[in-house]
Amino acid sequence: MKRVISLLFIAALAVLLLYVVASMPPMGDPKNPTATHVIPRYLERAEEETHTENVITGIILNYRGYDTMGEVTVIFCALAAVLAVLGRERRGKIFGFVDRSEVPSSTIVKTMVRFIVPFIILFSVYTIMHGETSPGGGFQGGAIIGGSMIIFTTIFGLYESSRRVPLRLRAALEGSAVMGFFLVGVLGLVGGGNFLTYAWPRVAGNLQPSLVVWLTVLVEIGIGLGGAMVLVSILFAMIREEEEIAPAA
Amino acid sequence: MRLLHNYHYAAAMILFCLGLHTVIVRRNIIKKLIGLNIMETSVFFFYISLGYLKEGIAPIRVGGAEPARMVNPIPQALILTGIVVAVSVTALALSMVILLYRQYGTLDVDRLMREEEKGEAVGGGEV
Amino acid sequence: MGAWRHFPILMIAIPLLGAVLLPFLGYVRENWVPYAAALPLGASSLLGLLLIGRIPSDGYLSYHMGGWEPPFGIEIRVDYAGFFVMLVVCGITMLSLLYSRRYISREVSPGRRTAYYVLFLLMSAAMIGFVATGDIFNLFVFMEILALSSYALVAITGNRNAVRAAFKYLLMGAPSSIMVLLAIGLLYSATGTLNMADLSARIAESGYTEVLTVSYILFVIGFGVKAALFPLHMWLPDAHSIAPSPISALLSGLLVEVCTFALLRITFSVFTREATALVGGTAEAVGVAAAAAVLYGGIMAILQKDLKMMIAYSTISHIGYIFLGLTAFTAEGLTGAMYHMLDHGLAKACLFLCAGNFIYVKGYRRIEDLRGAWREMPWTCFAFAVASISVIAIPPTAGFISKWYLILGNVKAGKWLYTAVLLTGSILAAVYCLRVIYYMFFQAGGEGKWEDAVRDAPPSMLVPVWLLSLGTLFFGVFSYLLIPSLLKASAYLL
């Protein structure tokens, strides 16, 4: 019965939405409202105003930096929420269900993973730092680090990976994304502009482009590091088991 | 006609409706969460398609790229934030599922609802 | 240009920073965390108070983030209505935080207490940011922070029912957020901008009417779930009654109202009066749903045996009031709706915190157990009584003032049926509230349930309760302080 009601509702919604699609501006048309109103200014002047070649990075860190600050707050909030539900480990050894697996990973797998993970992390550092000039950016790099830690944890177990990324490190760096934004924001206030203006420091009264780039990179690193630590912490919280729980079959 | 020309949008809307249907109808919690993710992905797909330009190039100003031919960067910037939000919601939902499974031993929504009625008969919710 | 124009963003950023720094303190000295959490919220409230008088009632304060002018940058736009809600948020979150210290030390396990305060601060910062923003995508981002923190706070006690209620809330809330995102996408496709002021101009002259109408419908459904408008309210009774009481106070008193305010924003500041043709049909449907909400909430509240469930259903009823004020499309209706956000916030928070007192001191949740309560917990009972009078809307409380304007607004719009519904709502409220008061004061307690000596809740839990209930009286008697400005602000919005 519930299925039927839901199907009817969804069918009505689908008809409504497809009707909307038929009335929308044509896709790919350069004369769309989306392509003509605000975009030309971004595309033409982004390089001079934000000193990044990747226009998207310029938008998310500079023009619409406040949204990105909200985004890093969302990910931090997700961490706080997951920890509120699952609890943080006490200082000491932690175990996860992967540690109890009766089928240990083979030597081939372990060697390969041990070999590859450093390169993955190197790639993610590249993604973070080079986000100005190529597709990439802070959070993308952080997510790659998170992914590499998932691989590592799956193969080697939670005990090993928690030794590599200990609680102290994670707890210290989780907030770095929000802190980075706050720092830049306050610097903007100090420099006489509004919050989050890349207005400081000024040298001889002028805003040096290289310093603006440095500030942008600082924020990117903060986002990358903070995002990575948050993802790793969430991973550990979800996999972790109290030692009293009997090993599941 | 326009509907066929805007086929990206149409596909996104169909996926959205499929995802919503999955969330409503499926009994297994994990499947509901997958449906949620389908909904989210369909909306991301919709946004990115908004920026599509025929014969467009990436909005990166390197080596003589002309601004007039660049794809719209705004939806991409918005979706970066959107993906992070979706990941966060999924992470929280999954951690609640872990807790629910530990406490109730089932992933079936109907059985969870029946537990609720049993609980009500005993003495109401806690705290 | 003075320093005060930076205050709105500081009101948002300082609690955010506090939330990020709090875990460090929690690592070192967990006992200080509740006190430390009060500092950023207190600073934020102080900044808000300092802004009083600077926001004209028919204008706004505009702040360009990053120095980029809108629509190229994000704008923070504080108009009188928004500022009003910001102050309500600051006040009620502060009082709830003060109340939390003792309650949480008993109900939440030690490992999770820091997380509670972190999430609390995040939720408060997000509420202020949600109301202050002038950019529609920014609205979505803050809504998500709000949603995530509220899902977790409902589940934080770790109790089986709590996790289940929180998950049900998430299963309804997350799809609604996605719907809002889709609605924003549709708006963007038709207008090309995300700034609210710019959107209002471009919507009025845009030719894509179908897209805009459907976008509005999606907004209504999306925010309707979050604001618990009937028939999208199913998550509310469980979530609000099972959450820890200070969180129930915030959820019922602030969160649902802030989401209603968002719909107000969308309807009046984005789809302005000029777009009435687009909005009108959906607004009619919302009116019907709101009327149903008033009646449904009231009737279900009468049927409840658990105190917090009753209060939760009462919230559903009152959200209906606010929506009826919005759909009247008159200045009086809007004023009534906004003033009701104030008085419902105060009264509902007070009711939930009183319920929390009963749970904390005696462990009683059911209305049956409250017979004869006044002998042992007179302070709490009296505060409950005063807040109930506001819920029923009897003079001289603030509830009466808001209802007066709601009725006036609907009469002016010629909506007699809704006026009748509003009056019926009061009668229903009288039934469920007076029943509890009767039990508390005029019935003898069961054996061993209540002592003769007065042993009420500790001061840190009584003071917020009393401040809230006195607030309902204060804003009723002194309503002339705010009403004229609100009337002007409403006329400006329309």
Query: Consecutive 10-residue runs of chain C (494 residues): their mean pLDDT?
Result: 78 92 84 88 90 77 81 84 89 91 84 90 94 92 94 88 90 94 91 86 81 89 89 88 89 90 86 70 85 89 88 91 85 85 90 89 80 80 89 83 86 83 88 86 70 74 85 81 76 72
Please answer yes or no on whether A77 and C145 come within 8 Å at the CB atom. yes
Q: What is the pLDDT of residue C152?
A: 93
Rounded Cα gap, residues C222 and A10, in angstroms = 15
- Best of B1, B8, B17, B40 to mutate (most A CBs within 10 Å, chain A): B17
Nearest residue to A141 (alpha-carbon basis) of A219, A52, A82: A219
Structural domain boundaries in chain B: 2-54+69-123
**Whole-number mean pLDDT of chain A?**
82
Token digits of residue C117: 């305060």
Taking the Cβ of residue C186 and every Cβ of chain A, the question of whether any pair is shorter than 8 Å is answered with: yes
Taking the Cβ of residue C151 and every Cβ of chain A, the question of whether any pair is shorter than 8 Å is answered with: yes
* Measured CA distances, B117 to A52, B103, B113, C347, C394 (Å): 58, 16, 7, 30, 37
Q: What is the pLDDT of residue C80?
A: 84
Please answer yes or no on whether A174 and C23 come within 8 Å at the CB atom. yes
A33 vs B contacts (CB less than 8 Å): none
* Measured CA distances, A105 to A110, C145, C228, C417 (Å): 7, 39, 50, 71
- Subunits with 3+ C-beta pairs closer than 8 A to C: A, B
Cβ contact B21:B35 at 8 Å: yes
Q: At what angle do helices C80-107 and C256-264 cross, to 10 degrees?
A: 160
How many CB atoms sit inside 10 A of residue A42's CB?
23
- Subunits with 3+ C-beta pairs closer than 8 A to B: A, C
- Name the minimum distance, in Å, from the CA of C20 to any CA of chain A: 6
- Best of A67, A179, A229 to mutate (most C CBs within 10 Å, chain C): A67
Taking the Cβ of residue A26 and every Cβ of chain B, the question of whether any pair is shorter than 8 Å is answered with: yes
Taking the Cβ of residue C105 and every Cβ of chain A, the question of whether any pair is shorter than 8 Å is answered with: no
Residues 6+ apart with CB under 8 A from C356: C99, C103, C244, C245, C246, C248, C249, C461
Taking the Cβ of residue A47 and every Cβ of chain B, the question of whether any pair is shorter than 8 Å is answered with: yes
Taking the Cβ of residue C474 and every Cβ of chain A, the question of whether any pair is shorter than 8 Å is answered with: no
How many CB atoms sit inside 10 A of residue B123's CB?
10
Please answer yes or no on whether B95 and A21 come within 8 Å at the CB atom. no
Residue A243, pLDDT > 70, answer: no
* Measured CA distances, C29 to A176, C26, C108 (Å): 21, 5, 17
Give the distance between the most distant pair of CA atoms in chain A. Answer: 74
Assigned domain for A25 exists? no
DSSP-derived secondary structure for C387-404 = HHHHHHT-TTSHHHHHHH
β-bridge mates for residue A238, sequence order:
none
Restricting to A residues 83-102, those with a Cβ less than 8 Å away from any Cβ of B are: 85-86
Higher pLDDT, B10 or A89: B10
Taking the Cβ of residue B114 and every Cβ of chain A, the question of whether any pair is shorter than 8 Å is answered with: no
Which tens digits make up the pLDDT trace of A4-61?
888 888 888 888 888 888 888 887 777 777 777 778 878 877 777 777 888 888 888 8
Higher pLDDT, C436 or A247: C436
- Name the minimum distance, in Å, from the CA of B62 to any CA of chain C: 22
Token digits of residue C372: 């004869």
Cβ contact A58:A50 at 8 Å: yes
Taking the Cβ of residue B97 and every Cβ of chain C, the question of whether any pair is shorter than 8 Å is answered with: yes
Please answer yes or no on whether A24 and C211 come within 8 Å at the CB atom. yes
Token digits of residue A1: 């019965």
Cβ contact A84:C155 at 8 Å: yes
Higher pLDDT, C52 or A207: C52
Tokens 């249907």, located at residue? B21
Q: E strands within A6-87?
A: none
Please answer yes or no on whether C242 and B127 come within 8 Å at the CB atom. yes
Q: What is the pLDDT of residue C128?
A: 93
- In three-state secondary structure terms, C61 is strand
Residue C68 per-residue DSSP state = P
CATH topology of domain B2-54+69-123: Helix Hairpins (1.10.287)
Residue B44, pLDDT > 90, answer: yes
- Name the minimum distance, in Å, from the CA of B25 to any CA of chain A: 6
Higher pLDDT, C141 or A168: C141
Rounded Cα gap, residues A114 and A118, in angstroms = 8
Please answer yes or no on whether B21 and A139 come within 8 Å at the CB atom. no
End-to-end CA distance of chain B: 58
Q: What is the pLDDT of residue C402?
A: 86
Cβ contact C271:C191 at 8 Å: no
Please answer yes or no on whether B50 and C152 come within 8 Å at the CB atom. no
Please answer yes or no on whether C182 and B36 come within 8 Å at the CB atom. no
Please answer yes or no on whether B127 and C178 come within 8 Å at the CB atom. no
Please answer yes or no on whether C115 and A83 come within 8 Å at the CB atom. yes
- Name the minimum distance, in Å, from the CA of B63 to any CA of chain C: 25
Taking the Cβ of residue C156 and every Cβ of chain A, the question of whether any pair is shorter than 8 Å is answered with: yes
A38 vs B contacts (CB less than 8 Å): 74
Q: What is the pLDDT of residue A244?
A: 40
For residue C6, how far is the Cα from the chain centroid? 25
Rounded Cα gap, residues B12 and C77, in angstroms = 33
Q: What is the pLDDT of residue A203?
A: 63
Mean pLDDT of A148-154: 89
Token digits of residue A154: 């799956």
Residue B123, pLDDT > 50, answer: no
Please answer yes or no on whether A65 and C66 come within 8 Å at the CB atom. yes
C107 vs B contacts (CB less than 8 Å): 127
Nearest residue to C460 (alpha-carbon basis) of C357, C343, C378: C357
From the list B5, B62, B75, which residue is nearest A53 (CB)?
B62
Higher pLDDT, C402 or B61: C402
A90 vs C contacts (CB less than 8 Å): 111
Tokens 């604001």, located at residue? C227
C118 vs A contacts (CB less than 8 Å): 80
Please answer yes or no on whether A43 and B70 come within 8 Å at the CB atom. yes
Please answer yes or no on whether A74 and C145 come within 8 Å at the CB atom. yes
Nearest residue to C123 (alpha-carbon basis) of C148, C98, C99, C103: C148
Search chain A and give the residue with CA nearest C63: A194
Q: Range of A74's domain?
A: 65-245
- Name the minimum distance, in Å, from the CA of C316 to any CA of chain A: 24
Please answer yes or no on whether B116 and C188 come within 8 Å at the CB atom. no
Residue A119, pLDDT > 90, answer: yes
Cβ contact A139:A128 at 8 Å: no
Please answer yes or no on whether A20 and B76 come within 8 Å at the CB atom. no
Residue A245, pLDDT > 50, answer: no
A199 vs C contacts (CB less than 8 Å): 67
Q: What is the pLDDT of residue C448?
A: 60
Assigned domain for A100 exists? yes
**How many CB contacts within 8 angstroms connect chain A with chain B?**
154
Q: What is the pLDDT of residue A206?
A: 63
Taking the Cβ of residue A61 and every Cβ of chain C, the question of whether any pair is shorter than 8 Å is answered with: no
Mean pLDDT of A170-195: 83
Nearest residue to C472 (alpha-carbon basis) of C363, C388, C404, C406: C388
Q: What is the pLDDT of residue B125?
A: 42
How many CB atoms sit inside 10 A of residue C134's CB?
28
Per the structure, how many domains does chain A have? Answer: 1
* Measured CA distances, A110 to A59, A99, A116 (Å): 41, 14, 10
Nearest residue to C259 (alpha-carbon basis) of C213, C292, C227: C227
Rounded Cα gap, residues B85 and C148, in angstroms = 9
Could you tell me the pLDDT band of residue B124, with boundaries at 50, 70 and 90?
A: very low
- In three-state secondary structure terms, A104 is coil
DSSP-derived secondary structure for C97-129 = HHHHHHHHHHHS-GGGHHHHHHHHHHHHHHHHH
Mean pLDDT of A171-191: 84
Residues 6+ apart with CB under 8 A from A94: A158, A159, A162, A236, A240
- Name the minimum distance, in Å, from the CA of B65 to any CA of chain C: 22
From the list C159, C170, C181, which residue is nearest B82 (CB)?
C181
Residue A234, pLDDT > 50, answer: yes
Rounded Cα gap, residues A127 and A136, in angstroms = 5
Taking the Cβ of residue B57 and every Cβ of chain A, the question of whether any pair is shorter than 8 Å is answered with: no
Q: What is the pLDDT of residue C181?
A: 95
How many CB atoms sit inside 10 A of residue C110's CB?
8
Q: What is the pLDDT of residue C178?
A: 95
- Subunits with 3+ C-beta pairs closer than 8 A to A: B, C
From the list A27, A56, A67, which residue is nearest B76 (CB)?
A56
From the list A64, A90, A185, which residue is nearest C74 (CB)?
A64
Q: On the CB side of C28, how many CA atoms lie within 13 Å of its CA?
A: 7
Please answer yes or no on whether B49 and A75 come within 8 Å at the CB atom. no
